[in-house]
Amino acid sequence: MTGYNQQLGRQNLSLLGANPGERHANRILRRNQHLFHAGDKLSDAYIVVGGALKSYINYRNGDGQVLGFHIPGDIVGYESLINGFSTCSVVALDTTCVRRLGITHSGKTNQTDSPIPRAIIESMCAEIQQLSRQLHQERHSKTDARFATFLLDFSQSQVERGFSRHAFRLPMARRDLAAYLGVATETLSRLFTRFRERGLIRVDGNHLTLLDPQRLEAMSSATYEPTDGEAMENPSEALRFADR
């Protein structure tokens, strides 16, 4: 995700039925089990079949950054296309199933005329666009706007997969979401509370319902001006990264 961070989920999931004989390539990950670590040599890309993954990087000074969350239909391990090394670590947020796509280092698959290479390129482009927007938002947007944008993007990712636009489950822990948004966990808790009190969302554990998508759209734009009592958080909130 998506981002949530890709909007090609349903299209990519259709690849899973292209070759039932490849089901032996499925791999099950338990919670907190890594698919690969930063610096690992990658020989294959993977598509998420079920569950959710988190991609992240750690810096030498001890800080880190959550790069994204990957749900069914998302592809990870692009570096395998160039016989490269992973630039980030990818870990399961819950019990997760991934499938090896079986791409050779020349960019070819084990199948003739396979749509997989094109799907990977499209997913790569979508992820680059998402990361560029995320970087822009961290530099120029208030925390309210970033949070609203994330909720809308995740909502859209659910629609792309045939699920409800308004009611869904967030697969990530709040500390991971805070690290993704570039805020402290306490700041994210205040955001949840403020959005709930404004009548924007309803929260029940990890289950969330969007009550006013139109107002969230306005908040995610640079032109949004808060009403009385809707003070924004400082966008320069110090980054904290947990669950490494």
Of 93-102, 119-128, 207-216, the one with minimum mean pLDDT is 119-128
pLDDT at 123: 64
More confident call, 122 vs 157: 157
Band the pLDDT of 164: cuts 50, 70, 90.
very high
Residue 77's nearest CA partner among 117, 131, 28, 36 is: 36
Mean pLDDT computed over every residue of the chain:
78
pTM above 0.85, yes or no: no
On the question of pLDDT at 116 being above 70, the answer is no
Band the pLDDT of 96: cuts 50, 70, 90.
very high
More confident call, 153 vs 78: 153
b/e sequence 19-50, b meaning 16+ C-beta within 10 Å: eeebeebeeebeeeeebbeeeeebebbbbbbe
More confident call, 57 vs 10: 57
More confident call, 75 vs 230: 75
- H/E stretch holding 148 reads helix 143-160
More confident call, 97 vs 9: 97
pLDDT at 78: 83
Percent with pLDDT over 90 in the chain: 48
Backbone angles phi, psi at 175, to 5 degrees: -65, -35
Same fold, 9-133 and 141-220: no
More confident call, 125 vs 178: 178
Band the pLDDT of 50: cuts 50, 70, 90.
very high
Q: Rounded mean pLDDT of 26-40? A: 96
9-133 CATH fold: Jelly Rolls (2.60.120)
Residues forming beta bridges with residue 203, ordered by sequence position: 208
* DSSP state letter for 79: G
Of 22-26, 58-62, 179-183, 215-219, the one with minimum mean pLDDT is 22-26
Architecture of domain 141-220: Orthogonal Bundle (1.10)
pLDDT at 192: 97
pLDDT at 84: 80
On the question of pLDDT at 134 being above 50, the answer is yes
Contact 89, 56 (CB under 8 A): yes
Contact 5, 75 (CB under 8 A): no
For the chain, the structural domain boundaries read 9-133, 141-220
Backbone angles phi, psi at 98, to 5 degrees: -125, 160
Distances (CA, A) of 67 to 29, 39, 117, 125, 146: 19, 16, 23, 15, 14
Give the pLDDT confidence of 175-213 residue by residue, as tens digits: 999 999 989 999 999 999 999 999 999 999 999 999 999
CA 14 to chain centre: 20
